Amino acid sequence: MDINTLKDAVARVRVIPVLVLDDISLARPLAEALVRGGLNVLEITLRTPNALRIMSEMAKVEGAIVGSGTVRGFDHMQQSVDAGCQFMVSPGAPRELLASAQNIDIPLLPGVSSPTEAMGAAEMGYSFLKFFPAQAMGGTAVLKSFASPFPDLVFCPTGGVSPANAPNYLGLCNVICVGGSWVTPTELVEKKDFAAIEGLARQATLLGR
């Protein structure tokens, strides 16, 4: 998957579920519920011991486009490729990380929170960026201010995004999608209530339409 194919995929769904999961047995049924609900682009964060195995299992689900999150170094990138990921997401954008990603066959979505970071990423050839942590760094007001000086950049705000404020983000001209964890609440995942999660996914597909 190249960056343009990724942009097309996220533009269709508008919401990327951000998943923190460690129970391998839940990986495939959870991914299947999200795909059935219309959210097939999934970010699995590298925050649990079994995250890579979770990615591998979810990558087996038909229609799922699996990415790794919280990518912080080259080792994470190579592990993501080996796990079957099709994209990567980082919370930041240090120059060394951006340079390393250019040696990996799947695209990286770097995280930025300031004009300087956005310019640095753009200089390295990155035009699709994660705005993180979105709400804490000023939310829609900041992204609105980015639109004029950075007409060539598009963003995926993540961090504090919810069903209440997601439409505000998705209504901005430079926001292609949002990321959030509300689609997979811990209590529903632990109860294995995949029907309810599928319902939340369906509701999320309507945000910003």
115-129 pLDDT, tens per residue? Answer: 999 999 999 999 999
Of 9, 16, 2, nearest to 166 by C-alpha is: 16
- CB of 205 closer than 8 Å to CB of 11: no
For residue 192, the one-letter residue type is K
Which two structure tokens, joined as six digits, stand for 58? Answer: 């979810």
CATH number at residue 19: 3.20.20.70
This prediction has a pTM of 0.96
Domain range enclosing 98: 3-205
Total number of domains in the chain: 1
CA distance 9 to 203: 18
Q: Which residues are designated catalytic?
A: 43, 130
* Whole-number pLDDT of residue 209: 75
Exposed e or buried b per residue across 25-38, where buried means at least 16 C-beta atoms within 10 angstroms of its C-beta: ebbbebbbbbbbbb
- CA–CA dist 103, 137 (Å, integer): 30
The per-residue pLDDT for 5 is 96
pLDDT the model gives residue 208: 73
CA distance 92 to 158: 12
User: What is the mean pLDDT, run by run of 10 residues, along the chain of 209 residues?
Assistant: 95 97 98 98 98 98 98 97 98 97 96 98 97 98 98 98 97 98 97 98 91
